[in-house]
Structure 1
């Protein structure tokens, strides 16, 4: 009676039995999968803390504030003209508020780059976290109108 792959003439089998090797590799693979740490996805949320400090002045809105630059390079805070030093003070007030109000920045397309850059530097230095650009659609129409024809 012939075994798998062997001859009746008594010669040794020339093929290696790979079944035990595959079994060992499968056991190692299972052990490796078991020992990998489970990845947990965590979302860090800063919960509000009760603050018994004085209410902020009326000039700083507790929900959202709009910082703009006009075509004449006048900086405005909620439609009122302000200086860079006043912006620093207002941003410090908003940073201390819980929750921090949103800051919307809208420079005019015709305003000077230097004024916009200085204002953005003040905003960055203040550490404001809720910040966004608004009115970006005006730049699309501005660029199309100022572009020379092809």
Structure 2
């Protein structure tokens, strides 16, 4: 420890003693190093086996795709125009009120076309729409 010698002007010491701070930080690092391996251990459980189930087709989102040329497909079936798309979407909405649409738009397609298709989906009454992208 460093002590300041007594002098005639007893002003406050302006230096910060960092030794206690370093001590506390080293204790925290040691605690972290000890507890981190304990957190990664897992309990091995043998899970029960069940019969396979099929996915609920009713709850599957509609797959709406726009290719580079601007052609629209719904669930891999070609759609003639946006009016026909709106009719099909309205029929799907009558069948399932919670229907969702996944939009697959080619990166080369003009944004205007994507905006028009989105407006058609919204005009049909479907509020759940998601854009599907590919991870690079």
Provide TM-score, normalisation by structure 2.
0.51
* Shift in CA distance, 126/99, structure 1 to aligned 2, threshold 3 Å: closer
Q: Give, in whole Å, the separation in 2 of the partners of 1:126 and 1:64.
A: 15
Corresponding residue of 1:81: 78
Matched, 1:103 2:101: yes
Q: CA deviation at 1:129?
A: 2.5
- 5+ long unaligned stretches in structure 2: 1-56
Q: Specify which structure has the bigger relative contact order, considering alpha-carbon pairs within 8 angstroms and separated by 6 or more residues.
A: 2
Structure label with greater radius of gyration: 1
3-state SS of paired residue (1:66): strand
Q: CA deviation at 1:73?
A: 1.0
Q: CA deviation at 1:122?
A: 0.6
- 5+ long unaligned stretches in structure 1: 1-60, 142-150
Provide TM-score, normalisation by structure 1.
0.46
Over the aligned positions, Cα root-mean-square deviation in angstroms equals 1.9
2:127 maps to which of 117, 126, 129: 129
3-state SS of paired residue (1:72): coil
